[in-house]
Amino acid sequence: MKIFVTGVNGQLGHDVMNELALRGHVGIGSDLAPAYSGMADGTAVTTATYVSLDITDADAVRRVITDVQPDAVIHCAAWTAVDMAEDDDKVAQVRAVNAGGTQHIADVCKELDCKMLYLSTDYVFNGQGTEPWQPDCKDYQPLNVYGQTKLEGELAVSQTLEKYFIVRIAWVFGQNGKNFVKTMLNVGKTHDTVRVVNDQIGTPTYTFDLARLLIDMIESDKYGYYHATNEGGYISWYDFTCEI
């Protein structure tokens, strides 16, 4: 298969591209930077075909993806700085990326009749439950701009396409890009005491494992909504920091 991947300079896109290469698929990577700018680890993603793309530019999205003619698009790119997204001067930009950019990609996938896999988030829910949300739950109640715009991205995909996967993920960490593991290691180097909240609960998810699942999906026609995290019991950010 030929698969177009957005956000390859991030932690998940990096591992998705490498998993595609491992399975013999052709991965074409894209991101905002003029050239691949992830970690120079010598893996397949570092030498794969790369296209600079601003997903908020509808014409550019149509031109680039139409030129590639992919069998599928795996859309990892997103505005993920949750706290910064709340700044009044950032809201329009966050929405342009997470909702508008996703709509542009979905529109082209419809024209080309190709599959689309969209990475979403647990933030589309309110986080106040005592039981895990099920993938078919429609009780959306995002509490911040990030969650709201990612939900708008979900709706763009589901209302435009029939051949789609919407995969909600949480607490991801990987070797490339920024994540909680790297942040805590850096804090530990500069502080005698590390203080972390213990009232937020989740399941850390390694992007290396998640990438393998996503490629399993894109190789299938088992379309729909999925919730994907690593196995194991729920832990708090404090518990996770102790492990780190």
| CA-wise closest residue to 75 among 106, 34, 111 | 106
Note whether residue 239 is domain-resident. no
Q: pLDDT (tens digit, 0 to 9) for every residue of the chain, 244 residues total?
A: 999 999 999 999 999 999 999 999 999 999 999 999 999 999 999 999 999 999 999 999 999 999 999 999 999 999 888 888 889 888 999 999 999 999 999 999 999 999 999 999 999 999 988 888 899 999 999 999 999 999 999 999 999 999 999 999 999 999 998 899 999 999 999 999 999 999 999 999 999 999 999 999 999 999 999 999 999 888 999 999 999 9
Q: Does residue 60 sit within a domain?
A: yes
In a domain? residue 199 = no
Give the pLDDT score at 213.
Answer: 98
Structural domain containing residue 209? 2-178+204-233
List the alpha helices (DSSP H) in 24-135: 58-68, 91-95, 102-112
Q: Is residue 144 part of a domain?
A: yes
* Overall pTM > 0.85: yes
Token pair 């990096």 in the structure block, residue: 14
pLDDT of residue 45: 97
Neighbours of 18 (CB within 10 A): 21
DSSP 3-35: EEEE-TTSHHHHHHHHHHHHTT-EEEEEESSSS
Pinpoint the alpha helices (H) of 85-230: 91-95, 102-112, 145-160, 180-190, 207-218
What is the domain count for the chain?
A: 1
Instruction: Let me know: does 109 contact 73? Beta carbons within 8 Å.
Output: yes
Q: Is residue 128 part of a domain?
A: yes
How much is the pLDDT for 177? 86
> What pLDDT, on the 0 to 100 scale, is given for residue 129?
81
CATH at 14:
3.40.50.720
The reply to whether 150 falls in a domain is yes
pLDDT of residue 211: 98
Reduced to 3 states (helix: H, G, I; strand: E, B; else coil), residue 87 is coil
- Is 125 within 8 Å of 76 (Cβ atoms)? no
Do the domain assignments include residue 244? no
Alpha-carbon separation of residue 182 from 173, 174, 176 (angstroms): 9, 9, 10
In-domain check, residue 51 = yes
Positions marked active-site: 146
